[in-house]
Amino acid sequence: MKIIVAVKRVIDYKAIIRVKPDGSGVETSNVKMSMNPFDEIALEEALRCKEKGIATEVIAVSIGNEQSQDVLRTALAMGADSAILIKSDEALQPLGIAKLLRALAEQEKPGLILLGKQAIDTDDNQTGQMLAALLKWAQGTFASQLNFHDQGVSVTREIDGGLETLFLTLPAVITSDLRLNEPRYITLPNIMKAKSKPITITPAESLQVDIKPTTQILQLELPPKRRAGQRVENATQLVHLLQEAQVI
Ligand code: AMP
């Protein structure tokens, strides 16, 4: 079985986010970029499937500009067999991404597509669901455990107040939650090995799908700064201050 893993290049989760002065978006120049953390988990799961003999090939795919090759090199260093960059300089939205991934899936015919549950830059949490719907494949979102059987895969999902286990027939789309696994560290020999692994660059236009944005960001602003706290000596003083503030 071939597995495709979608990996997005996003602002590193430790970087300080700065909004552009005109409020039109987030500043991305001179900011550390990395692979979306949930995608690293999705990739780790695909690699474990290959190590267990469930998968025969793992392909990492990123959609974005030339620089998205960074995250594909990281994916290759983690252990992906090959990588595909669907090149586009446009700011794409989940529906456009899902349509491009569907076109790729129709060419590559994977048994499974793994994605992160959400990209931490836009927090959309839409692409996996849209992709499964477009392909008319089974979907298991927020997966925290996968168990493969002859006819399919059971997916344990993290839902409000508990866990739900679904059985999916393959091919399927699965999105990873935080507790699915802990991604491996990349070793130096694997970074060197990754240099000789192939990255295929496919222009988004060649997939002939309509990726025109359907929504537009009107305004982006940071949350108001938190006011400094006040240290109190004891509970009585705390109650007094809360009464003064008319909170209780
Ligand atoms: P989102 O729906 O934007 O929160 O993204 C959910 C998941 O879709 C991400 O964790 C990635 O696995 C995948 N994805 C979204 N955008 C891209 C992209 N530009 N390139 C590759 N994968 C993406």
pLDDT at 196: 92
Ligand 1 mean position, distance from CA 8 (Å): 5
pLDDT at 34: 97
Tens place of pLDDT for every residue, the chain, 248 residues? 999 999 999 999 999 989 998 888 899 889 999 999 999 999 999 999 999 999 999 999 999 999 999 999 999 999 999 999 999 999 899 999 999 999 999 999 999 999 999 999 999 999 999 999 999 999 999 999 999 998 899 999 989 889 999 999 999 999 999 999 999 999 999 999 999 998 999 999 999 999 999 988 888 888 888 888 889 999 999 999 999 989 88
Residue whose CB lies within 8 A of the most ligand 1 atoms, among 36, 102, 215, for a mutation test: 36
| Rounded CA separation 77/187 (Å) | 8
pLDDT at 230: 87
pLDDT at 33: 96
pLDDT at 225: 86
Is the C-beta atom of 85 inside 6 A of ligand 1?
no
Spell out the alpha helix ranges (H) of 136-206: 188-194
Q: Do 88 and 199 meet the contact criterion of CB atoms below 8 Å apart?
A: no
Domain architecture of the chain: domains with CATH: 2-220 (3.40.50.620)
User: 121 in helix, strand or coil?
Assistant: coil
Q: Which two tokens stand for residue 65?
A: 């500009």
pLDDT, tens digit (0-9, with 9 covering 90-100), for 147-164: 999 889 999 998 988 999
Is the C-beta atom of 154 inside 6 A of ligand 1?
no
Q: Do 104 and 87 meet the contact criterion of CB atoms below 8 Å apart?
A: no
Residue type, 67: Q
pLDDT at 171: 97
Closest-lying ligand 1 atom to the alpha carbon of residue 5: 12
For residue 122, the tally of other CB atoms under 10 A from its CB is 16
Residue whose CB lies within 8 A of the most ligand 1 atoms, among 33, 39, 99, 215, for a mutation test: 39
pLDDT at 25: 86
| Rounded CA separation 46/57 (Å) | 9
Is the C-beta atom of 126 inside 6 A of ligand 1?
yes
